[in-house]
Structure 1
Amino acid sequence: MIQSMTGYGKHIVQLSSKKISLELKSLNSKNLDINARIPQAFREKELQLRKTIADSLIRGKVDFSLYIEITGEETSTEVNAGVVKKYMQQLREIADGDEVKLLEIALRMPDTLKTDKQDIDPEEFKTIENALIEALKAINTFRTEEGMVLEKDFTNRLTTLDRLLEEVKAMDDDRLGTIRERLEKAVADLKVDLDANRFEQELIYYLEKYDITEEKVRLANHLDYFRTTLNSADSNGKKLGFISQEIGREINTIGSKANYAPMQQLVVQMKDELEKIKEQMLNVL
């Protein structure tokens, strides 16, 4: 079963004086790229949180946000009164103004708030770790559900490719016959005497260059292999990408050898279906 790299997970924990919110968003990426936004007080635990995320998500561009909201009276942040007064004094020297207005401006200046460094409470951090695990479960559930949608789309497009390949096989004999007639007519129009046996040998050699038997067999095998990989226990986005490249190679070869308008029209349809598969493949884990 495949998974999408697109996902979202969130978990909220309410403590006696704090509300802890964790949010995870992910998009497609070749590798794992984690962008973490966490409070300064928990920076020393960032690597540990990143490792927990990396063990669960493997690939994707992941935005991780940790919010701590104080809901009680507890706070470690205070107004730096001396700095605020100094700012207000400087502002008065520049322009006269209402004290309240000057205070509002001063509070927006740097270093007007000070935060006392506090040790991380082990129990609180354990709560954060457990909340992260729950958020990871949520985002993986989201990814799995998105993967089911992608799998259904891939299956439908594989069925279309199977049908188009069968149509290619069905018209192959007519195609070779049409090419042969076209060549014979072209030679006849030259009105020159030719050795019939030699002409037949050259004609057979020429037609062999347009033979697509191997391409038809390989394309059918690649489609079956894609379907088998799609239904495997693990999500193999990179492997499916490699298989889709091989499918494209066989379709292109059939198109270059076709030399027959009805078959080339089928090839265009096959390329269109494959292109849509490749677009969706970018989201597969």
Structure 2
Amino acid sequence: MKSMTGYGSSEHRCDSGVTFSVEIFSVNKKNLEFRISLPKEALQLEPFIRQIIAKKLSRGFITARLNITADESFLKQSVRMNEALAKVYYNKIRNMQEKTGIPGSMEISEIVKLPGVVEDSLEGSEFMKNEECLAEAVNAALDKLIEMRSKEGDSLKNDILQRLASLESTASKIRPLAEKIPAVQKEQLLRRLQESGLQISSNDERVHRELVIFADRSDVTEELTRLKSHFKQFREFMEKTDPCGRSMDFLTQEIQREITTVGNKALQCEISPLVVEFKTELEKIREQIQNIE
């Protein structure tokens, strides 16, 4: 079981002279979403990075930042001087100056600013030649992020297990109280009949019929049995290595539905506080689950 919160970073230097520095952050999100920050000359690397991340993460809002530096050996290959074009510019400008008589001098710093004199091929296509090295950098950062998510997942797991044990304890207190409801109702019914002046025996068929109807309406055996099954499933989900956040979220909703039914059916002053206690603890579990992958 893993959390959706984590951070990882790495730096890899390629044989070509390019260095990739990667940072990856993740926070909780219902689905898998990306925000990838890249240098403008490497924007076409985004699909490649997305593909790598999607293979290892299934949920969360992922922020990835890539910084690229290149040493002299790489820059020598990507930056070219068009000397022939520079010479054409120079001769054309000198000829124009001689014909028009425009005063002034021409510096090399001005010539290199003219279109096409300096050719820079430092683009994503050049960096894609280092895709294996880039993949290593991204995967190394992802591994660190996943390690952090796993550690936080263990903390969440321990917290949820403690709260789950609390729910089981509360449910076990409700069961014996719920079993007493028919007897309590019978006693209350007979007392009200006596107080009203009606002399009806406890063995009267009408009394039995009323008690049977009430017992059926207040019976929460099925709900408590399903709660026990849900608790077992919860523990099984937490032992899985695959993403289980969505399944646990759904199971929490089912538990909420069952305990609400218990509260509605078992209308006893001793049970109502236990139902409130149960729901309070369950809400804390639900909040924790929102950060589980």
Separation of aligned partners in 1, 2:36 and 2:227: 44
Cα distance change on mapping 1:180 and 1:72 into 2, 3 Å: farther
2:151 aligns with: 145
Give the alignment partner of residue 235 of structure 2, picking from 227, 241, 244.
Answer: 227
2:122 aligns with: 118
Amino acid at match of 2:11: I
Amino acid at match of 2:3: S
Task: Report the CA distance between 1:265 and its aligned residue.
Answer: 0.9
Check conservation: 1:3, 1:147, Cα contact below 8 A: yes
Unaligned runs of 5+ in 1: 78-113
1:5 aligns with: 4
Amino acid at match of 2:237: T
Higher mean C-alpha displacement, 245-254 vs 19-28: 19-28
Determine whether 1:57 maps to 2:57: yes
Cα distance change on mapping 1:248 and 1:259 into 2, 3 Å: same
Amino acid at match of 1:191: G
TM-score (norm 2): 0.77
Determine whether 1:277 maps to 2:285: yes
Cα distance change on mapping 1:118 and 1:200 into 2, 3 Å: same
Separation of aligned partners in 2, 1:187 and 1:207: 18
Cα distance change on mapping 1:194 and 1:178 into 2, 3 Å: closer
Residue deviations 1:20-53 (CA, integer Å, cap 9, x gap): 3211101111111000100111111211111111
Give the alignment partner of residue 254 of structure 1, picking from 242, 246, 262.
Answer: 262
Task: Show the 5 A alignment for 1:10-159.
Answer: 10-14=9-13, 19-69=19-69, 116-119=120-123, 120-122=126-128, 124-159=130-165
Residue deviations 1:233-271 (CA, integer Å, cap 9, x gap): 323111111111111111111111121111111111111
Amino acid at match of 1:278: R
Separation of aligned partners in 2, 1:188 and 1:163: 38
Task: Report the CA distance between 1:179 and its aligned residue.
Answer: 2.7
Let me know the Cα RMSD of the aligned residues.
2.5
Determine whether 1:205 maps to 2:204: no
Task: Report the CA distance between 1:154 and its aligned residue.
Answer: 1.2
Partner SS, residue 9 of structure 2 = strand
Residue deviations 1:8-30 (CA, integer Å, cap 9, x gap): 11112356976532111011111
Cα distance change on mapping 1:201 and 1:18 into 2, 3 Å: same
Identical amino acids, percent of aligned pairs:
31
Residue deviations 1:58-99 (CA, integer Å, cap 9, x gap): 11100011112467695989xxxxxxxxxxxxxxxxxxxxxx
TM-score (norm 1): 0.79
Total equivalences in the alignment: 248
Structure showing greater radius of gyration is 2
Separation of aligned partners in 2, 1:124 and 1:51: 16
Residue deviations 1:169-213 (CA, integer Å, cap 9, x gap): 232233433233222222332223557221221222122211111
Partner SS, residue 24 of structure 2 = strand
Cα distance change on mapping 1:57 and 1:187 into 2, 3 Å: same
Determine whether 1:214 maps to 2:218: no
1:241 aligns with: 249
